[in-house]
Amino acid sequence: MRIFNKTVVLEALKNSLNTDYDRKMKFSQKLKGEDSLIPLVIHDVFGGEILKTHANKYWHFYNMVDGERVDFSGTESLDSFENIKFEDISATADETYGSVDNADYSNFFMRFVRAFEETIGLDKYNHSLAL
């Protein structure tokens, strides 16, 4: 059973990014440069596919979860991705890992999981699950 709700995931992303970045920055500014890390974490937590598309001279990664394209890296609000056209080219996790530092990935993964649990209220159930 998957627990995927775009609104909840977006809230968890905001909360996990707020721990490392200046809270006065706009959410879209915090996402800039995270467009490899976020799709990788989404893939590892929720499954689905990692997809890519050409964005300027670089690859832009995003996800397909439960048959829906999801792009949490804020491309709609970033000037550098203003005219992005999603090509839905399959990408591998290894390909995405190539542009992500392992320590950064592990750190962000754990922050996201904690933020996701807090957002959906799993912390209320931790005690009963541990018994």
Residue spans per domain, the chain: 6-123
pLDDT of residue 41: 92
Chain segment 84-115, per-residue pLDDT in tens: 788 999 999 888 887 788 888 898 899 999 99
pLDDT of residue 79: 45
Q: Write the CA distances from 17 to 26, 30, 96, 110, 131, integer angstroms.
A: 11, 7, 19, 12, 32
Whole-prediction pTM: 0.75
Q: Which residue has the tokens 């799709």?
A: 39
pLDDT tens digit at each of 131 positions of the chain:
456 888 888 888 888 876 544 444 444 444 445 668 899 999 999 999 999 998 778 888 899 999 989 988 765 444 444 567 889 999 998 888 877 888 888 988 999 999 998 888 765 545 444 44
